[in-house]
Amino acid sequence: MCHALLSDPNFYRLLLGFDRDLARESVAGGCPCGGKLHSARYPRKPRGGPADLGAEYAWRLSYCCAREGCRRRTTPPSLRFLGQRVYLAAVVVLASAMEGGVTVKRAERLHELVGVSVRTLRRWRAWWRGAFPATAFWRQAQGRFAPLVDDSALPLTLLKRFSGEDKQTRLIQALRFLAPLSIRSA
């Protein structure tokens, strides 16, 4: 696992920039009813990132249709959040991708670094290997990989499928791939 990425505020600011880009695309598309979208962001209490991320990081970008009678909410995909999990997406992915499993020493180090408990780590790993492979998202998306990704070692086997010059680039590619899971329709 890459401890430097988990504690680098610049990495998380980069993810915030990607989320803003995705939000701009959503706003430009407007509401399906033809109405204009207005900001309707909502607070989050993300765990696991560096303390100096700033107040902006505690908000989930979201929009609401301005047309009376519609008021449909549009929440763009996110590279920062993974569904309703309180820990940041990068933390969930990297902490769950430990080759060789959760050892006492690794769990202690992760607790020091991002505050995650052994119980939470085990729950995440169980989700990756049980619930995640059963999602409609994964059943459809896994066909993009040849040979197939080994479900028994997710998310490590998924991370290894992305190429890039460094670990940060590969993690960003994986977070982009997983971004549809950050919205309810996924």
pLDDT digits 0-9 by tens, 61-77: 999 999 999 989 999 99
Sign of CA dihedral 57, 161, 113, 108: positive
Which amino acid is residue 53, in one-letter code?
L
Token pair of 26 as six digits: 């959503």
Question: Which domain covers residue 106, as residue numbers?
Answer: 3-182
Alpha-carbon span 44 to 82, nearest angstrom: 12
CB 12 within 8 A of CB 80: yes
Q: What is the DSSP letter of 49?
A: S
- What is the domain count for the chain? 1
Token pair of 77 as six digits: 């995909």
CB 65 within 8 A of CB 99: no
CB 46 within 8 A of CB 91: no
CB 48 within 8 A of CB 115: yes
pLDDT in single tens digits along all 186 residues of the chain: 467 888 899 999 999 999 999 999 999 999 999 999 999 999 999 999 998 898 999 999 999 999 999 989 999 999 999 988 999 999 999 999 987 777 888 888 888 889 999 899 989 999 999 999 999 999 999 989 999 999 999 999 999 999 988 999 999 999 999 999 999 754
Alpha-carbon span 78 to 47, nearest angstrom: 16
Which amino acid is residue 151, in one-letter code?
D
